[in-house]
Amino acid sequence: MEKLVSLCKRRGFMFQSSEIYGGINGFWDYGPLGVELKRNIKDAWWKDMVTGHDDIGQLPGAPSPYEMTGLDCTIIMHPQVWKCSGHYDLFHDYMVDCRESKKRYRHDQIQGRWVEAKGKKIFATAGSDSESPEADIERQALKFFGMRSKNADELKWDGALVSLTTVEDFDQVLGPDAKTLGTLTPPREFNLMFKTTIGALGGEADAAFLRPETAQGIFVNFKNVVDSSRVRVPFGIAQVGKSFRNEITPRNFTFRSREFEQMEIEFFCHPDSSPEWYKYWRDRRYQWYLEMGLDEKKLILREHHAEELAHYSTGTADIEYAFPFLPEGEYGELEGIAHRGDFDLRSHMEGKLDPATNPMTVELNEEGKPKHRGSGKDLSYRDDLSGERFIPHVIEPSAGADRATLAFLCEAYTEDEQPDDKGKMQTRVVMKLHPRIAPIKAAIFPLVKKDGMPEMAQDIYRTLKKSWNVFYDEKGAVGRRYRRQDEAGTPFCITVDGDSLKDQTVTIRHRDTLDQWRVKADDLTDELRKLIG
């Protein structure tokens, strides 16, 4: 993982935001190669899910034909949206602060064990960023008791590793970065939404939030889309856009960030067919990652257990990837596919629903009135063929563009042994990105900077540049130019040599196989289109 992070900075995939001022945790900038990679991933998703979708045919596995359309909603929305969606009340973590280290931790992510030595019993802990919590806890306990590693067997452990949430009295708790006991504060709520102000006055009535997800913009525009575009249920609305969450402990490169981009679909269907549509979207989204180059051995589709599901949902699944920063055998969420029933549309119609009720009813305040009032707008759907009126159920495939980018980078990073210009074997770093998402599709080289080769190579570059992002390079030995493009993930290199001027053919080199073959210069556009797919 350290090698990948180093490569990302060196080659211009990603930089830490505001790095010259020391950076800001949880925010990342995409460099010249990174912005192209992420844009290509979003474009591939949008084409495969929306613009390239066959609205009149029935796809394999789909219960029926369906339509797809898109939206681009604002980042700041009416504050009532977040009250009815549940984010205002529920979108928070319980946090504890350490008075000694001045650090903040999520209450449920601190782990620890009870341990006794020298007649004193304490609860030693490790933070969520610990890769070996039990080893860190042992070191912390030894340091607290003033003992050496060779005396570790004198520590008397009571019970296995447990969460801090199981501990009521913090007086005997040794914080993850503390030297004394009782430095952790009682847990308190911390809202994960970024607060902002609309207008010049800046009073509480002007408070708003940066959206923590893109989905709610789709729900509140459901009626607008139905009325304006004549789509019929079943249909999906897609959106790609920025979201913001005030993560307490952003970590693992871009995996958990405070500003990120989502690729979400809200698919509206009849309640009777919703279980079939859930299975369709779950399987289709899993297959998409395989088609884009992720290794099936590193990808799993994890169905949530029944006890994890809300009663209004018939299923939720996470597509998870074995990121290299995780312990072996563990996976991190890449995308979630959720059956959400009619919870969202009803909440924006009637008011915030209480998910604990069955059937669901509007949550009431102390006065017996709706705690958060809905819009009062009718968000039901009338089938113009059957005349039936119903509130559609929703299937939500929600993917992270940044996590997808990180997963494809992790998958692509490869080291192998290849001969250099003199035939000596050297380690080659190559980013084996799928040609569809590679930042640069092809690089064009003149073998030498003379004899008309640069002119021919530049003509080829200008022709291909009309269709793809391609790169021209005439600096250094060809072998070194190949290596630079291998690190950038460029799948094909095109070389103009002495024979090119005679027979108008060029050499294409494949990044992964190192195979080379000659093609007519006039046929390059068609050849690349076939290779890129």
Taking only the tens place, the pLDDT of each residue in 457-470 is 999 999 999 999 99
Is 397 assigned to a binding site? yes
Question: pLDDT for 256-271, tens place per residue?
Answer: 999 999 999 999 999 9
Q: Three-state DSSP class for 276?
A: helix
Is 177 assigned to a binding site? no
Segments of the chain assigned to CATH 3.30.930.10: 69-91+195-408
Residue 356 has pLDDT above 90, yes or no: no
Question: pLDDT for 476-487, tens place per residue?
Answer: 999 999 999 999
Judge residue 472's burial from the number of C-beta atoms within 10 Å of its C-beta, 0-12 exposed, 13-18 middle, 19 or more buried. Answer: middle
**pLDDT score of 273:** 97
Is 436 assigned to a binding site? no
Quick check: bond before 359 cis, omega within 30?
A: yes
Residue 421 has pLDDT above 70, yes or no: no
**pLDDT score of 201:** 74
Is 188 assigned to a binding site? no
pLDDT band at 306 (very low <50, low <70, confident <90, very high): confident
DSSP 8-state symbol, 370: B
Burial 31-51, CB ≥16 within 10 A → b, else e: bebbebbbbbbbebbbeebbe
Is 464 assigned to a binding site? no
Across 110-126, average pLDDT: 94
Is 408 assigned to a binding site? no
Q: Three-state DSSP class for 142?
A: helix
Residue 131 has pLDDT above 90, yes or no: no
483 against 306, higher pLDDT: 483
Is 246 assigned to a binding site? yes
How large a percentage of the chain has pLDDT more than 90? Answer: 79
Is 263 assigned to a binding site? yes
Nearest to 191 by CA among 172, 177, 210: 210
**69-91+195-408 CATH, one of 3.30.930.10, 1.20.120.80, 3.10.450.50, 3.40.50.300:** 3.30.930.10
Is 474 assigned to a binding site? no
**Average pLDDT taken over every residue of the chain:** 93
pLDDT band at 156 (very low <50, low <70, confident <90, very high): very high
Segments of the chain assigned to CATH 3.40.50.800: 422-532
Q: What's the CATH code, domain 422-532?
A: 3.40.50.800
Longest dimension (CA), the chain: 90
Is 216 assigned to a binding site? no
Structure tokens that stand for 15 in this block: 């930089």
Is 245 assigned to a binding site? yes
Dihedral angle of Cα 16, 19, 25, 30, to the nearest 10 degrees = -20
Q: How many CB atoms lie within 10 A of CB 478?
A: 18
Is 139 assigned to a binding site? no
List Cα–Cα distances, 226 to 47, 141, 337, 382, 412, in angstroms.
22, 62, 23, 10, 41
Is 484 assigned to a binding site? no
Residue 418 has pLDDT above 90, yes or no: no
**pLDDT score of 310:** 74
Q: How many CB atoms lie within 10 A of CB 205?
A: 9
Is 333 assigned to a binding site? yes
Cα distance from N-terminal residue to C-terminal residue, the chain: 30
**pLDDT score of 200:** 77
Single-letter amino acid code for the residue at 173: V
423 against 44, higher pLDDT: 44
**pLDDT score of 312:** 76
Across 147-176, average pLDDT: 92
Rounded Cα distance between 413 and 433, Å, is 8
Question: pLDDT for 52-99, tens place per residue?
Answer: 999 999 999 999 999 999 999 999 999 999 999 988 887 777 889 999
Q: Three-state DSSP class for 353?
A: strand
